[in-house]
A = this chain, B = another copy of it.
Amino acid sequence: MLSEFDLIKQYFVRPATAGTHRAALGIGDDCALLAPAPGMQTAISSDMLVEGRHFFAGEDARRLGHKSLAVNLSDLAAMGARPVGFTLALALPAAERDWLAGFAGGLFALADAHGCELVGGDTTRGPLNICITIFGEVAPGHALRRDAARPGDDIWVSGTLGDARLGLAALRQELVLEDAALDDAAQRLYLPTPRVALGMLLAEGRLARAAIDISDGLVGDLGHILERSGVGATLDIDALPAGPVLARQALAVRRAFTAAGGDDYELCFTAAPERREAIVQASAACGTAVTRVGRIEAQAGLRLVDGGGAPLALALAGFDHFG
């Protein structure tokens, strides 16, 4: 029988790698101790993933470990913060060794890729629930806030949108994909790539003004920037970069899923037009594509237009857990 303490020791405590970590004290005490870098602000975000809501029952443990951390890293990316560490609180129906090994494997592979250290947490028995709280650092005044968009700013998105939603639609049998296409789309759903390096470059160089990560669909998430910044926008729906599988689907599906798909974990950011060249350079430097998709305007509200500039009335909304 695996005890709570053995579970933590065997799967989540790792040998200290000198020089690579910020924690003055890690797992095993009442608290972890972090020594903040002098003069830097600490960016903090918390996400809770629930079985049947954020992932299917029986989801592969390794993918789940990856995704649980990825959604939090994506929040740091949207502030332009450098990842430092995270806590993991885990409610499990049972302590199964294979599941734990897979989950920890997926979690730590992504954590190591971003130099982000597990510093503490909690484990308990209960319906499967994964809560990660992540810490990053960012220089004062450099964070990419939702309330910083200004009329005249370009609106940009990173990567491609909609494939995760397409994969979900296929898994729910709302539409049919060929096996290879389903594999590609499901990959985006299960193994999102947080845009940490792009976010850090945008913040360090003061290239972007406002940013948000696209988790509930672009239209809904851009709406948060508009509301917090007290501005409006026009969005060119046919400029939205579709994922490789989605690009081959019908126009209506492509428009709906790029504009309001969800689970993209790309960045949406606004920037002054003078920054276009520097943003393209930053994009090349970190290997993450960026696309201009619209314009911030003083007039409140979000106006959708097609590739020819004609207004479109689409019923699109962000995801609401209690809606």
Contacts and interface: CB of A to CB of B under 8 A. Distances in A.
Residue from the set A41, A75, A78, A228 with the largest chain B CB neighbour count within 10 Å: A41
Contact of A2 (B7, B54, B87, B322): B322
A129 B2 CA distance: 23
Contact of A124 (B122, B147, B321): B321
Interface string A75-89: 110110100000111
A172 to B, nearest CB: 18
Contacts of A143: 25, 31, 33
Given A4-B321, A126-B53, A46 B145 contact: no
Nearest to A42: B34
A117 to B, nearest CB: 11
A234 B91 CA distance: 35
A43 B33 contact: yes
Interface of A: 1-5, 7, 24-25, 28-36, 38, 40-48, 50-54, 75-76, 78-79, 81, 87-91, 94-95, 119-127, 129, 131, 133, 135-136, 138, 140, 143, 145-147, 211-213, 228, 320-323
Given A143-B25, A322-B4, A124 B50 contact: yes
B42 A42 contact: yes
B320 A5 contact: yes
Contacts of A123: 321-322
A228 to B, nearest CB: 7
Given A33-B43, A33-B44, A133-B133, 4 more contacts: A29-B79, A35-B42, A50-B126, A50-B129
A2 to B, nearest CB: 6
Contacts of A90: 48
6 contacts: A4-B321, A25-B145, A30-B45, A30-B211, A30-B212, A50-B124
